[in-house]
């Protein structure tokens, strides 16, 4: 019930942001229907997000987006730097499931890493554009931050 | 003051265009599908983010600041979902 109310409130907020506050009645009906669908498709998990850690992760994100974009742009535009793509097998701490999937989606936005499927031994393949050596340690550090934010490290 | 705001908008939007151009250069120049995904997602997110940032001071003309930020967030969420899926498919072939 609490999860449904939170999702409804967030969806209504998204409606207000996108429409600029018009037709809030229609927005409430839509948000209620969307919250109901989301509970069916993705029932609440066992984790309770920590607001402070989540806010820190969100505040850190623009900086990460800047680093990621500048990294790729330098390789793409500088004729002296050629891309050196490679794959790194990295073992996640998060158990398989929605939390790990959410982290891998988030990791695809971080500098230099793009998750590209699973290896046979349960590791995750990370595609890296440059600097392969640092990828596994970076992923583990980011995973710890992410797990703290969603409350999955208890 | 408004001159400063205009200069900020102009610089942010121009920087955004540079990153879109870099993303396109990467799409053409990078050797494999996953590398191209790096270019298309990361450089373009930053480009779009900078354009949104530059447009924020004049957000009334385009439906308000929250709408602009929502556009950026929706693009981030959709490519975070699609990027790893496409990379996995590209690897399987």
Report the complex ipTM: 0.85
CB crowding A126-152: b at 16 or more within 10 Å, else e: bbbbbebeebbebbeebbeebbbbbbb
> Is A24 near chain B, with CB under 8 Å?
no
Is A114 close to B87, i.e. CB distance below 8 A?
A: yes
Is B45 close to A69, i.e. CB distance below 8 A?
A: yes
pLDDT for B25-56, tens place per residue?
989 988 888 889 888 888 999 999 999 999 99
pLDDT of residue B54: 92
- For A125, the 3-state DSSP assignment is strand
Does A28 have pLDDT greater than 80?
Answer: yes
pLDDT for B59-87, tens place per residue?
877 678 888 999 999 999 998 989 888 98
> Is B62 near chain A, with CB under 8 Å?
no
Question: A75: which chain B residues are within 8 Å (Cβ-Cβ)?
Answer: 26
Evaluate the CA torsion angle A26, A31, A32, A34 in order and state its sign: positive
The helices-and-strands tally (H runs, E runs) of chain A is: 5, 3
Residue A16 in tokens:
């207000």
CA distance B4 to chain A (A): 23
Q: Scanning every residue of chain B, which has its alpha carbon at the shortest distance from the alpha carbon of A11?
A: B70
CA distance A153 to chain B (A): 23
| C-alpha to C-alpha distance for A64 and A110, rounded to whole angstroms | 6
Does A154 have pLDDT greater than 70?
Answer: no
| C-alpha to C-alpha distance for A24 and A30, rounded to whole angstroms | 9
């Amino acid at each position: 019930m609490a999860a449904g109310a939170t999702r409804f409130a967030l969806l209504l907020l998204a409606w207000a942001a996108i429409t600029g506050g018009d037709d809030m009645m229609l927005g409430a009906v839509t948000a209620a229907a969307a919250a109901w669908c989301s509970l069916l498709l993705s029932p609440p998990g066992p984790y309770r997000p920590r607001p402070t850690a989540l806010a820190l992760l969100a505040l850190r994100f623009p900086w990460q987006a800047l680093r990621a974009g500048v990294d790729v742009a330098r390789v793409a535009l500088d004729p002296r730097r050629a891309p050196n793509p490679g794959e790194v097998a990295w073992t996640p701490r998060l158990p398989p499931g929605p939390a790990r999937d959410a982290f891998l989606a988030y990791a695809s936005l971080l500098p230099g890493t793009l998750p590209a499927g699973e290896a046979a031994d349960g590791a995750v393949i990370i595609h890296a554009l440059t600097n392969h050596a640092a990828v596994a340690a970076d992923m583990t550090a980011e995973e710890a931050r992410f797990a703290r934010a969603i409350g999955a490290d208890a | 003051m408004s001159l400063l705001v205009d200069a900020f908008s102009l610089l942010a939007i121009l920087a955004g265009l540079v990153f879109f151009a870099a993303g396109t250069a990467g799409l053409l120049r990078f050797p494999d599908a996953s590398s191209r995904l790096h270019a298309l997602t990361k450089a373009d997110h930053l480009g779009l983010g900078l354009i949104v940032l530059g447009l924020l001071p004049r957000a009334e003309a385009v439906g308000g600041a929250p709408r602009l930020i929502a556009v950026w967030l929706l693009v981030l969420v959709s490519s975070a979902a699609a990027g790893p899926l496409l990379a996995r498919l590209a690897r399987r072939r």
